[in-house]
Amino acid sequence: MRVQDGMERLTQQQLRVLLKFVRGCYACHDRDALISYLLYGISTLVPAELAAFTEIDGGGRIVDMRVEPSTATLPGFRRLFERHLPQHPHFTYYQQTGDASAVKLSDFLTRRRFHALKLYSELYEPMNIEYVMSVLVPGPRPCLLAVSLHRGRRDFSERDRLLLNLLHPHLIQAYANAEAIRVMRQEVGLLGQAMEARDQGVVLLTKDGRVRLINSRAQQWLADYFGRSSQHVDHLPVVFRTWLAHQEASLNVTDDVPLPRKPFVVERQGERLVIRHLCEADRCILLMEQQPVSVQPVAFKLSDLTRREAEVLLWVAHGKTNVEVAEILGLSSRTVQKHLEHIFKKLGVETRVAATRALAVGAFRKR
C-alpha cells in the first residue's frame, strides 16, 4: 500500500524507513534522548546536511539549541539565530496562523528576496545553506520547539514535506510522553518513589498486561472511572487492555503509516482522566493525570463571542496551538482557525497575542 498526499506518494522502502523512525521516537523516554535521536537519525528519513533542534520561549528568546553536525555551524550561531528570529518566515508564519506543519523557506521567499535578507548574509550564507524546511512542536508552555533541516544545493521536495508531515503528529506525542516522564521524575524521583505520588497515577505492567505495581492515586481513579475495586488490582479493565493491544499493534504495521499514540481519555462529572502509555522491552508504564474537561468560558459573558469562540480563545490564551485546541474541543484545526478569524474580527484585533491581551485586560464589551 502506498501513502498518498495529492500527487506525492511514498514507496514501500520510504514507508518502512518512516515506520522504523516512528518506533524509535516512541522508544525515547527521555527528552535529551529524543532530541539526540531526532538530530542523528532524521536525515535517514529526509536527507539533509544539517539538522537543528531549537526551543524558543514566549518572548522569542532561545532556551535550547542543538545542531548536528555541531562542527557545521558558525561561532555564535545561536546568538545570530536569535537576533534574526523575528525576520524568519517560518516563525512569523506560525505566529500569524498557528500552523505548525512542515514549511519551506521557498514557500515564502524567492531566492532573490532570501539573499537580500541579513538572515541569509549573516547566518545562512557563511554556512552555505540555501534551503530550509522546518516543523514545529508545542513545548512546555509558553515554549515552541522547531526541528529544522538544512541543505546547500537542492531544495526540499513535496515528498520530503509529506514525510515530515506524516512524522509530525508522532513527534508531538513522543515529545509529550518524554515531557510527562521528565515531570514525573522531577516531582517524585524514580518509579519506587512515584508509588506514593500525590497528583499522578502510576501503573507498572508486565508485557502480558498484569499489574506489577500501582500507586494509591491510580487505584482510586480506576475505582472512580471504571468501578474497579481499589483492593487486589491485578488486571486492568477490558477496555484498557483492548486499547493497549491496539497501541502495540499500531506500530507493527508494515503497509501504512500508523496513527499517533494518543493518550486514553475518559470523562466523568466535569473531569477527564488522561492515561499515557510508555512501553519498554519488558514492561509498560501507564501515567495518569486528572484534568478539568474544559476551561470555563468567562469571555462568553463579556463580548459577542459565541460559547465555542470563547472556549477557543481561552485555550489559545493558555498557550495552546490550533492543533491542540482542536484535539481538546473535538474540532478540526481548520474549524479552530475559522473561529479565530471570527474572534479577531469581533475583538478588532489581528493576532493571537492581541486577542489574548484583550481577554486579559477585559478590553472588549458587549455591543
Q: Does the pLDDT at position 299 exceed 50?
A: no
Same domain, 15 and 160: yes
Mean predicted confidence (pLDDT) in 119-124: 91
At residue 367, the pLDDT reads 40
- Higher per-residue pLDDT: 126 or 179: 126
Q: Does the pLDDT at position 86 exceed 70?
A: yes
Domain end, chosen from 243, 261, 292, is at 292
Residue 8: which pLDDT band, with cuts at 50, 70 and 90? low
Q: Does the pLDDT at position 366 exceed 70?
A: no
Rounded-to-integer distance, Cα 184 and Cα 287, Å: 9
- pLDDT, tens only, 13-60: 889 999 999 999 998 888 899 999 999 999 999 999 999 999 998 888
- pLDDT, tens only, 155-204: 999 999 999 999 999 999 999 888 887 776 665 554 554 445 457 888 88
Is there a contact between 90 and 132 (Cβ–Cβ < 8 Å)? yes
Asked if residue 205 is part of any domain, the answer here is: yes
- pLDDT, tens only, 128-154: 999 999 999 887 778 889 999 999 999
Rounded-to-integer distance, Cα 238 and Cα 260, Å: 22
Residue given cell 460559547 in the structure block: 307
Q: Which of 233, 207, 227 is nearest to 285 (CA)?
A: 207
Rounded-to-integer distance, Cα 328 and Cα 330, Å: 6
At residue 259, the pLDDT reads 67
Residue 329 grid coordinates: 474541543
Q: Does the pLDDT at position 5 exceed 50?
A: no
Q: Does the pLDDT at position 10 exceed 80?
A: yes
| Angle (deg, nearest 10), helices 307-317 and 333-347 | 100
Rounded-to-integer distance, Cα 279 and Cα 292, Å: 26
Longest dimension (CA), the chain: 70
Q: What domain range includes position 254?
A: 192-292
Same domain, 30 and 142: yes
Same domain, 219 and 170: no
Q: Does the pLDDT at position 342 exceed 70?
A: yes
CB-count exposure of residue 131 (10 Å: 0-12, 13-18, 19+)? buried
Rounded-to-integer distance, Cα 2 and Cα 21, Å: 17
Same domain, 148 and 220: no
At residue 292, the pLDDT reads 76
- The verdict on pTM exceeding 0.85 is no
Is there a contact between 314 and 307 (Cβ–Cβ < 8 Å)? no
Domain count, the chain: 3
**What's the mean per-residue pLDDT of the chain?**
81
Transcribe 216-252 into DSSP letters: HHHHHHHHHHH---SSS--B--HHHHHHHHHHHHHTS
What is the helix, strand, coil percentage profile of the chain, to 5? Answer: 50, 20, 30
Domain end, chosen from 273, 292, 311, is at 292
The CATH code of the domain that includes 314 is 1.10.10.10
SS3 153: coil
At residue 313, the pLDDT reads 83
Asked if residue 187 is part of any domain, the answer here is: no
